[in-house]
A and B are shown apart, each in its own frame.
Chain A
Amino acid sequence: SAVISQKPSRDICQRGTSLTIQCQVDSQVTMMFWYRQQPGQSLTLIATANQGSEATYESGFVIDKFPISRPNLTFSTLTVSNMSPEDSSIYLCSVLGLAVSYEQYFGPGTRLTVT
């Protein structure tokens, strides 16, 4: 299994500002994912971040709004830019299992509130 930590665990931000969320994994992984989880909705994939290449964004998400960095095999950041109240959500990073790739391990999440 993989142990994932995220910082910050929660934050309250003002409209128009940006927040960078950090994700640290205790082992080297190729693929990292960023999800958004809103009440009453399923996990929504924002982007896939592979080390050494540009992140791949899902429909409805753009790099200018959600820039992602992946400097090495154990770390990634997601920035939520120019925030609005609609960005209030839980943001989760995840990785695929090392031994069995159908397993996906999630971080504890970052609870973001935009006022």
Chain B
Amino acid sequence: QKEVEQDPGPLSVPEGAIVSLNCTYSNSAFQYFMWYRQYSRKGPELLMYTYSSGNKEDGRFTAQVDKSSKYISLFIRDSQPSDSATYLCAMRTGNQFYFGTGTSLTVIP
């Protein structure tokens, strides 16, 4: 079983839609939970992080962590064509980072 599971998509939504991206994990030792956004031919950039169960909001983005279910989500409200990218979830314990495979998102104008 992989440490982190993420549906690769691809996901295609119309502009303005609410997008839900999800990851599950198996290691209860994970302490930090992150979402990275990767545009084509670019390196991943940190979008959001959380370190506890609950929700964290930043503009149109909301990160949600449910440690009891070992499940994290990223919600994007009012999605824009500029949100078209691959989104990777990542988790950390100590100095070890574990990444999902990424979900490819396309927002259609």
Q: Which residues of A contact B (CB under 8 A)?
A: 4, 31, 40-43, 45, 48, 92, 94, 96, 102-109, 111
> Contact at B88–A43, with CB atoms within 8 Å?
yes
Find residues 74-109 in chain B having any chain A CB closer than 8 Å to their own CB.
88, 90, 92, 95, 97-102
Q: Which residue of A lies closest to B98 (CB)?
A: A42
Q: Which residues of B contact A (CB under 8 A)?
A: 2, 4, 6, 8, 32, 34, 36, 41-46, 49, 51, 88, 90, 92, 95, 97-102
A94 to B38, CA, bound (A): 14
Q: Are A42 and B101 CB-contacts (below 8 A) given A31-B95, A102-B51?
A: yes
> Contact at A106–B51, with CB atoms within 8 Å?
no
Contacts of B34 in A (CB 8 A): 102, 104
> Contact at B97–A42, with CB atoms within 8 Å?
no
Contacts of B101 in A (CB 8 A): 40-42
> Contact at B43–A103, with CB atoms within 8 Å?
no
A105 to B49, CA, bound (A): 13
Q: Are A42 and B100 CB-contacts (below 8 A) given A102-B34, A102-B92, A111-B41?
A: yes
A96 to B32, CA, bound (A): 14
Q: Are A104 and B46 CB-contacts (below 8 A) given A40-B101, A42-B102, A111-B41?
A: yes
Kindly identify which residue among B32, B41, B43, B92 contacts A107, using a CB–CB cutoff of 8 Å: B43
A106 to B49, CA, bound (A): 16
